[in-house]
Chain A
Amino acid sequence: DQQVKQNSPSLSVQEGRISILNCDYTNSMFDYFLWYKKYPAEGPTFLISISSIKDKNEDGRFTVFLNKSAKHLSLHIVPSQPGDSAVYFCAARDNTDKLIFGTGTRLQVFP
């Protein structure tokens, strides 16, 4: 069973607009959440993270929001740029220190 779910396989956004990527999880023991970005033929790279004791973390154009009661987190990118086009993976850390990843959302930012 998938403990970390990204229900939107793809998202298309116009340049300059906001991109919102969503992630849901089932395990209430997850204590740390991360977003990774992956370009074709490359390994995923770390983007931003949030601890379960916070509800928001911001880094430049990227903001992650955590709603623990809903077991939901989201990544906001504003303004979106063509270079943001990639696959975005949500990940959660469990109590054995493993990172569990979602299935990914492919973001396309068009001019």
Chain B
Amino acid sequence: DAGVIQSPRHEVTEMGQEVTLRCKPISGHNSLFWYRQTMMRGLELLIYFNNNVPIDDSGMPEDRFSAKMPNASFSTLKIQPSEPRDSAVYFCATRTGGPGELFFGEGSRLTVL
């Protein structure tokens, strides 16, 4: 099993540019979570999907952030326009239904200059 696959691993962009982060979940996992890691807030939940449907997006910081899950094998997190304060590591995590543990990808490190 390849695990949760995220791309890109690193992204450096300039303020105002659009950023798209991608995630391929583990096959058979029907819940997908996007987290952001910062020093101040630790691992902060942005949004999660269950069976491709967004269940809770209350953690999305503002309208500049959007996430989609068009099918069971792909999700994107988009920031448009990006700002320097968006610089962080973004993690995608998935699990099977129920209280099972989350499996994390290796993260996408975003730097907005």
Contacts and interface: CB of A to CB of B under 8 A. Distances in A.
Contacts, number: 55
Nearest to A41: B106
Contacts of B39: 103
Contacts of B99: 32, 93, 97
Contacts of A44: 43, 91, 104
A25 interface: no
A2 B43 CA distance: 11
Say whether chain B's binding surface is mostly helix, strand, loop, or mixed.
strand
Contacts of B107: 41-43
Chain B CB within 10 A, most for which of A6, A101, A102: A101
Sort chain A's interface into a size bin.
20 to 34
Contacts of B41: 2, 103
A100 interface: yes
A39 to B, nearest CB: 10
B89 to A, nearest CB: 9
Contacts of A6: 42
A97 B96 CA distance: 12
Contact of A43 (B40, B42, B91): B91
Interface of A: 2, 6, 32, 34, 36, 41-46, 49, 89, 91, 93, 96-104
